[in-house]
Chain A
Amino acid sequence: SYELTQPLSVSVALGQTARITCGGNNIGSKHVHWYQQKPGQAPVLVIYRDSNRPSGIPERFSGSNSGNTATLTISRAQAGDEADYYCQLWDSSAWVFGGGTKLTVL
């Protein structure tokens, strides 16, 4: 089965840029989606199809996908961005999720 690999944790200074990666075999050939989850809440979609933002998601959130790595980029990080982030895609007739990355804003 297809596996998605995310770093367990990423730290970013307030106002700086955070990059969260999602690794997978030839992931660039697939569409990747990203979710933000805060404690006790359901996940929220922040990026779909690699680089598209749903309505209401700030422009500070962007995504890219090429080769074996997809990346979620959060510019001008704010305290409210502190959360777990998950990548997800469709493979072999099933949804596949990454293990999640905890973003800490210092």
Chain B
Amino acid sequence: QVQLQQSGPGLMKPSQTLSLTCAISGDSVSSNSATWNWIRQSPSRGLEWLGRTYYRSKWYSDYAVSVKSRITINPDTSQNQFSLQLNSVTPEDTAVYYCARDNQGIAVADYWGQGTLVTVSS
């Protein structure tokens, strides 16, 4: 049974860097078939895919155009987890953030983390 456990702060100030981690059990971040994704949800933007990391003989990361200049998603093979960093946050980045697995690399999330509410406020 795959489980994704998220951790990270829930309250931030504008201009800070958002950092979240997703610990994986029941699968490997180095899987040759899965991708590891970050998705957020807010009342104003709905569900929004932010990006992914995956391993296919080497590591790749893809990002949504809307956040491409501010985002980094990295794997951590020693801890079997992956992370999200979003720079220069504004109140518009207030959302529930989810990590999710795409088991077959077909752009579908079959397992989700529990979600982390991140509030950006001065």
Question: A residues touching B (Cβ–Cβ < 8 Å)?
Answer: 1, 31, 33, 35, 42-45, 48-49, 54, 86, 88-90, 93-97, 99-100
Q: How far is the CA of A17 from the CA of B107 in the complex (A)?
A: 28
Q: Are B46 and A97 neighbours in the complex by a CB distance under 8 Å?
A: yes
Which of B39, B46, B110 contacts A100, CB < 8 Å?
Answer: B46
Besides A43-B98, A88-B47, A90-B107, 15 more A-B contacts (Cβ < 8 Å) are: A31-B106, A33-B107, A42-B112, A42-B113, A42-B115, A45-B110, A48-B106, A48-B108, A49-B106, A86-B46, A88-B107, A88-B108, A94-B64, A97-B46, A99-B46
Q: Which residues of B contact A44 (CB under 8 A)?
A: 112
Report the tally of A-B residue pairs with Cβ distances under 8 A: 51
Question: B residues touching A (Cβ–Cβ < 8 Å)?
Answer: 37, 39, 46-49, 62, 64-65, 98, 106-110, 112-115
The 4 closest A-B pairs by CB, nearest first: A95-B49, A90-B107, A42-B112, A97-B47
Q: Which residues of B contact A96 (CB under 8 A)?
A: 49
Q: How far is the CA of A49 from the CA of B46 in the complex (A)?
A: 22
Q: Are A94 and B39 neighbours in the complex by a CB distance under 8 Å?
A: no
A86-B65 in contact given A42-B98, A42-B112, A95-B39 (Cβ < 8 Å): no
Q: How far is the CA of A97 from the CA of B50 in the complex (A)?
A: 12
Q: How far is the CA of A54 from the CA of B102 in the complex (A)?
A: 13
Q: How far is the CA of A45 from the CA of B112 in the complex (A)?
A: 9
